[in-house]
Amino acid sequence: MELLEARIRRDGKVRGDDVLKVDSFLNHQMDVRLFAEMGKEFKRIYGGCGVTKILTIEASGIGIACVTAQFFDVPVIFAKKSQTKNIAGEVYTSKVESFTHGKVYDIIVSKEFLRREDRVLLIDDFLANGSALMGLIKLVEDAGATVVGAGIAIEKAFQPGGDLIRSRGIRVESLARIKSMSEERGVEFC
């Protein structure tokens, strides 16, 4: 998506070899007009797939998921990062390793909101090693629901997550795919 790539070129900041900071329009301050264009694009891609729910992960996927959901006219569920253990039984759970902090944490979704008949579109801001997306996929599979596919804003295609998830037969559509990046050269797209 040209608009998103141009914005990354202009305002994205590469940190080290593998972290892209997009705090000025996506992860901290949020450009909702840009989000709307992204939501329209996800609707163009997945509009014919019978999506009944959008599922994302706390916190940075929520904004994009909400704006996207307006175009699908379906509810958004966000998987919560959980500390409490006493809710087992009422929730689906899985484990996610944080890309930015390296810690493993549990994510949960109430069984009330994810039903066997649901057709779920997963939305997230970044795809790196694929742990966040794999965690979301497990929640949907545990519910007996269907993963329609994933809509990702920025895929770092030089990291293994995209291949990992596509090799499981799951459709992954990313609006910007980064081939390589460095602090000196900036970002190169696929």
Using CB under 6 A as the binding rule, whether residue 4 contacts ligand 5GP is answered as no
CB 63 to ligand 5GP: min, Å: 12
Angle at 187 between CA 182 and CA 190, to 5 degrees: 120
Per-residue DSSP letter, 75: -
Using CB under 6 A as the binding rule, whether residue 132 contacts ligand 5GP is answered as yes
CB 51 to ligand 5GP: min, Å: 20
Select 91 or 178, whichever has its Cβ closest to ligand 5GP. Answer: 178
Of 4, 8, 20, 91, which one interacts with ligand 5GP (CB under 6 A)?
20
Using CB under 6 A as the binding rule, whether residue 164 contacts ligand 5GP is answered as no
Of 129, 138, 142, 158, which one interacts with ligand 5GP (CB under 6 A)?
129
Contacts (Cβ under 8 Å, ≥6 apart) of 71: 39, 40, 42, 43, 47
Per-residue DSSP letter, 86: T
Please choose, out of 85-93, 111-119, 130-138, 140-148, the segment that lies near ligand 5GP by the rule CB under 6 A: 130-138
What does the chain come to in residues?
A: 190
Using CB under 6 A as the binding rule, whether residue 136 contacts ligand 5GP is answered as no
Give me the amino acid identity at 104: V
Name beta bridge partners: 186: 182
Select 86 or 100, whichever has its Cβ closest to ligand 5GP. Answer: 100
Using CB under 6 A as the binding rule, whether residue 106 contacts ligand 5GP is answered as no
DSSP per-residue letters across 99-149: TTT--EEEEEEETTT--TT-EEEEEEEEESSSHHHHHHHHHHHHTT-EEEE
The binding site for ligand 5GP (CB under 6 A) comprises: 19-22, 27, 57, 60, 99-100, 124-133, 161
